[in-house]
Amino acid sequence: MAPVAIVTDSTHYLPPALVEQQGILQVSLYVGWQGESERELDLGGFDSFYTRLREDSDLPTTSQPSIGDFLAVWEPLLADGSDIVSIHLAGGISGTSEAARQAQALLAERGQGERVAVIDSETACGGMGMLVLAAAAAARAGGDRDAVVQRVRDARAALRIWFCLDTLEYLRRGGRIGKAQAWLGGTLRIKPILSLEYEIVPVERVRTAGRAFERMVRYAQELHDAGSDGWVVQHIQATEQAQRLTERCREIFDSEPAFVSEVGPVIGTYTGPGLIGVGGVPRALLA
């Protein structure tokens, strides 16, 4: 049985040490201002990016990986005898998954396409991170490509994740607002709670940051009660809130998170600073 390599793109925002430990390979998206574009994976820390995002009247631009970017990661794995499961950002907000499928089609012309399974995660950030960890667990247990794909699909079916924004303004400016468009108008001062099901989906509106935080805590309790006990917390430039949410979640789940991390520039361009998010899947899918 061929070993299965797990590939994803840079928008999972798993902690780098965890990515290395799990042997996960990455293809980077790009972000930059005024025609200058950098690989997201090369940026290192995010503080300077978010400082400029707050201050600059222009939004940065983001772009998907090229077909060549995918092939540069995949081809050495195939040459080493590995099959590949490649898990990517939701097609409703990015062309990344489509670019991966185009790269797979090129490999198919060379007789290797069937060795690569491309999966549109229909999510991003922590949600995609959990799917990637589920895939890595299945591969580590000796599953073949089909078994790994099935584990990812099982995790996606079980995934529940919410995130709260400080404002809808960045989603509006970036054109990624999806079904939350209905909340625009006089409602930019609300604290929107959203989810991602292929595209941005509105969940609830609350009036203050304090109420939004407590709603996220109650959602964590709902995750626990539903059996989604493999949990994560993410944030953007909201370290204190993320720490508080993590502590509350530790009390609810009586366990440690799968990970806690900061969301990076490609997604942060469209959400803005101040995001906090919590989500989960059954922990057994991550083991």
Q: What is the CATH number of the domain that holds 227?
A: 3.30.1180.10
CA dihedral 96, 97, 99, 105 (to 10 degrees): 170
Residues 192-207 have a mean pLDDT of: 86
For 274, the domain range is: 160-286
| Res 147: pLDDT | 97
Q: Total structural domains in the chain? A: 2
Residues 124-147 have a mean pLDDT of: 97
Quick one: 49 and 147 in the same domain? yes
| Res 167: pLDDT | 84
pLDDT category, 178, cuts 50, 70, 90? low
The mean predicted confidence, pLDDT, of the chain is 92
Q: What pLDDT digit, counting tens, does each position of 41-64 carry?
A: 999 889 999 999 999 988 899 999
Task: Specify whether the CB–CB gap between 114 and 108 falls below 8 A.
Answer: yes
Residues 63-88 have a mean pLDDT of: 97
The reported pTM is 0.93
Sign (positive or negative) of CA dihedral 129, 137, 151, 72:
positive
Quick one: 141 and 267 in the same domain? no
pLDDT category, 221, cuts 50, 70, 90? very high
Q: H helices of 159-284, where?
A: 169-174, 209-225, 239-253, 265-271
- CB-based burial of residue 88 (10 Å sphere; 0-12 exposed, 13-18 middle, 19+ buried)? buried
Single out the residue in 158, 177, 206 at which a domain terminates.
Answer: 158
